[in-house]
Amino acid sequence: MRIAVFTDAEGAGLGLVDDDEIAVMTRDDPGAALLGLIEAGAAGLADARTQAAGAARVALGSVRLGPPVVSHQRPVICVGKNYRAHAEEFHGSGFDSTGKAAIPEHPVIFAKLGSSLIGQGAPIRSGMDPTGTVDYEGELAVVIGRRAHKVSKAAAQEVIFGYTLCNDVTSRVLQQTHNQWLIGKSLDSFCPLGPWIVPAGEVPDVTALELVTTVNGEERQRAALCDLIFDIPALIETLSATMTLYPGDIIATGTPAGVGIGFDPPRYLRPGDRVAVTVPGIGTLTNPVA
C-alpha cells in the first residue's frame, strides 16, 4: 500500500497508489483525511484497502503528488550527522558549526519549517539561496502513528505509522553563517518529501534497505540504513523523552556521505539538475532544480 496526497484537474485528494493508478479515497481535505487514516492505525488501513477496491480511479501520470503530510504548518524534525562517514565529511568541510567532535555523542536535532515542503516533481527553487551553495541530502523519513511521550527504544516500533523519503536541501553558507540551522535548511521549496507513505507493516525490516541519491543520473550517495549512528528507535526515545510526538509528525533520519560539500571543489546544485532519492520498497523522490 502506498498512500498519496495528490492534485489533479478536479482538485486535491487522498488516495492509494496501485501500479499506474490512484484509487481516490476522498476529495475532502486530504491532510485531515490522512491524519484520520494514521490515527485509525491497522484497522484504518484495512478499511482503506476495502474501500479502494470500489473507488474511482485516476491515472498516476495525470496527477501532481504533494508532500504526504497532515499539515504544512508542522515542522519536519531532522537529524544531523547521523552516518559516521557523513559526519566526518561534514566536519572536515569547514561548514560544521555544531562543535569540535566529528561524531556526535548524542543526536543532533533541528527542524525544517513546513513552509519549505514540496512534493514529488516540484522544483527546488535554487534562486531562493542568494549564496549559490544549494546542496542535497537524501534521507529516509519516519511518519509517527500515535501520540508518543517517553517511549523506550523497545516500544518505538509501536508508534511508527510508516516511511517516506526526504531531501534535506540546504544552503551551506546560510547554514554556516547562522550557526543554528533553521534558516539554512528552511528556504521555500527546500524540503522535498514523498512520493508517498508506505505503512510500516509493509516494510519487514527497514534496516535491511539501502538509500541511494543521484544527481542527473550520477550516483552521489549510497548507504545501508543499518549504518545510522542513532537508529530509529534511539531517535524516537530521545525525542519523546522531552517532547510529545503526534500522529503525522515526520522525522528525517539523516543523510549519508556523498553530499555536494564532500567534493573538492564542492558540487552544488544548479538550475537544470535533477535529484533522485531512492529506497527500494519505499520509492523514489525526484525533483528538478530551477
- Residue 246 backbone phi and psi in degrees, to 5: -120, 160
Q: What is the largest CA-CA distance in the chain?
A: 58
- One domain for residues 149 and 61: no
- One domain for residues 91 and 57: no
Residue 191 falls inside a structural domain: yes
In angstroms, the Cα distances linking 280 to 106, 163, 205, 277, 285 are 29, 12, 12, 10, 11
Residue 71 falls inside a structural domain: no
Q: Which of 92, 129, 116 is nearest to 252 (CA)?
A: 116
Label residue 104 by pLDDT band (50, 70, 90).
Answer: confident
- One domain for residues 51 and 181: no
In angstroms, the Cα distances linking 39 to 35, 42, 45, 70, 72 are 6, 9, 10, 11, 18
- One domain for residues 184 and 268: yes
Number of domains in the chain: 2
Compute the mean pLDDT over every residue in the chain, rounded to the nearest whole number: 95
Label residue 100 by pLDDT band (50, 70, 90).
Answer: low
Cβ 262 vs Cβ 89: under 8 Å: yes
pLDDT of residue 252: 98
- One domain for residues 245 and 157: yes
Give the model confidence (pLDDT) of 64-76 as tens digits: 999 999 999 999 9
Residue 152 belongs to what domain range? 76-288
- Which of 21, 47, 66 is the C-terminal boundary of a domain? 66
Q: Which residues contact 265 (CB under 8 A, 6 or more apart)?
A: none
pLDDT of residue 99: 62
CATH number at residue 214: 3.90.850.10
- One domain for residues 102 and 189: yes
Q: 176 vs 199, which has greater pLDDT?
A: 199
Cis peptide, bond prior to residue 130, ω within 30 of zero: no
Q: Find the mean pLDDT for residues 172-199.
A: 95
pLDDT at 92 over 70: no
Single pTM value for the model:
0.95
- One domain for residues 110 and 165: yes
- One domain for residues 157 and 258: yes
Residue 84 falls inside a structural domain: yes
- Which of 66, 90, 112 is the C-terminal boundary of a domain? 66
3-state secondary structure at position 102: coil
pLDDT at 227 over 80: yes
Q: Which residues contact 280 (CB under 8 A, 6 or more apart)?
A: 209, 210
Q: Cell 511518519, residue?
A: 143
Q: Find the mean pLDDT for residues 42-61.
A: 96
Residue 172 falls inside a structural domain: yes
Mean pLDDT is lowest, of 24-28, 80-84, 88-92, 97-101, for 97-101
Query: Would you call 155 exposed, middle or buried from its count of C-beta atoms within 10 A (0-12, 13-18, 19+)?
Result: middle
pLDDT of residue 97: 65
- One domain for residues 151 and 176: yes
- One domain for residues 80 and 55: no
pLDDT at 84 over 90: no
pLDDT of residue 85: 75
